[in-house]
Amino acid sequence: MVTEGGVVRWVFGEPPLSQTQDLAAVMRRVIGLATSLEREEDTIEVLVAQLVKAERALVDLVPDEARPRVGDDVGSDGRVYLDHARSIGAFNACFPEYQIQVVGDRATGTVRFPLAYEGPPGLVHGGFIAVFFDCIIQHHNCDVGRAGKTTSLAVSYRRPTPLGTDLQFSVLRSEDGDRISSTATLMSEQLVLCEAEMSAVAGDRTKLPEVSPRRTGHAL
């Protein structure tokens, strides 16, 4: 947990390394470029070879156990668990990136989906839109210090969502006991593209399992 401006932000896990963030950004861009090629290129062949070489080197630098060091496994030989409360796309290219501003029970922001998230021609795959809504709504919950497990997420696709376009979104949340309800809208200017409704059960920060910090030296 981190306190900012008198608000306790929900944090669960370690922050990503700056190198991991740099890698995610480059990978996202390269995937878009590679999927736009008209023919096989030597550059891609060289890149694949370099990545295979890097993969072999990295295998020796991480724990053998794939489970994260959380809860009952906090003292295990598993891997470090990164905080997934907010901005997952900053360190994992499989998740979209966005900018968000939180003011109490309201949040607004912008997002631009790159080519890596294409489904129909020139449009965003609907599955990535659902992931996006899940991310921004839980980011909002975590920033106000009251978050928990998602129990339902319903997405309504009003219009196709274009790639490579600056889009706007808004989120509104409310609470009833331990139940959190959120509605979110994705727009292009004033045109509604998609809407989402999410329900979550608020968790108790004092009951969160222990998370192991990063370890120095080689993995156990």
Mean pLDDT of the chain: 93
At residue 102's C-alpha, the angle toward residues 152 and 164, to 5°, is 75
Pairing state between β 98-103 and 106-111 = antiparallel
List, in order, residues 6 or more apart from 166 with CB less than 8 Å away. 110, 112
Look at residue 144 and tell me if it is in a domain. Answer: yes
Q: Considering its fold, how many domains does the chain have in total?
A: 1
Look at residue 215 and tell me if it is in a domain. Answer: no
CA distance 212 to 72: 11
pLDDT(192) > 80: yes
Look at residue 37 and tell me if it is in a domain. Answer: yes
Identity at 143, one-letter amino acid code? D
Average pLDDT over residues 145-151: 91
Look at residue 57 and tell me if it is in a domain. Answer: yes
Instruction: Return the residue matching tokens 């480059």.
Output: 26
List, in order, residues 6 or more apart from 14 with CB less than 8 Å away. 80, 81, 82, 83, 211, 213, 214
Look at residue 91 and tell me if it is in a domain. Answer: yes
pLDDT(176) > 80: yes
At residue 31's C-alpha, the angle toward residues 28 and 34, to 5°, is 150
Look at residue 216 and tell me if it is in a domain. Answer: no
Specify burial of residue 105 (Cβ count, 10 A radius: 0-12, 13-18, 19+): middle
Residue (of 53, 79, 91) closest to 219 by Cα position = 79
Give the pLDDT confidence score for residue 217 in this predicted structure.
61
- For residue 79, give its domain range: 2-207
Domain with residue 132: its CATH number is: 3.10.129.10
List, in order, residues 6 or more apart from 66 with CB less than 8 Å away. 78, 79
Residue (of 103, 102, 90, 115) closest to 32 by Cα position = 115
pLDDT(24) > 50: yes
Instruction: Return the residue matching tokens 């600056």.
Output: 166
Average pLDDT over residues 149-167: 97
Average pLDDT over residues 31-43: 97
181 within 8 A of 154, measured Cβ to Cβ? no
CA distance 183 to 188: 17
Which of left, alpha, beta for 193 (phi over 0: left; psi -120 to 50: alpha)?
alpha
Please write the tens of the pLDDT for every residue from 51-85.
999 999 999 999 988 899 999 999 999 999 999 99
Q: How many CB atoms lie within 10 A of CB 95?
A: 20
Average pLDDT over residues 179-186: 97
pLDDT band, very low/low/confident/very high, at 219 (cuts 50, 70, 90): very low
Look at residue 217 and tell me if it is in a domain. Answer: no
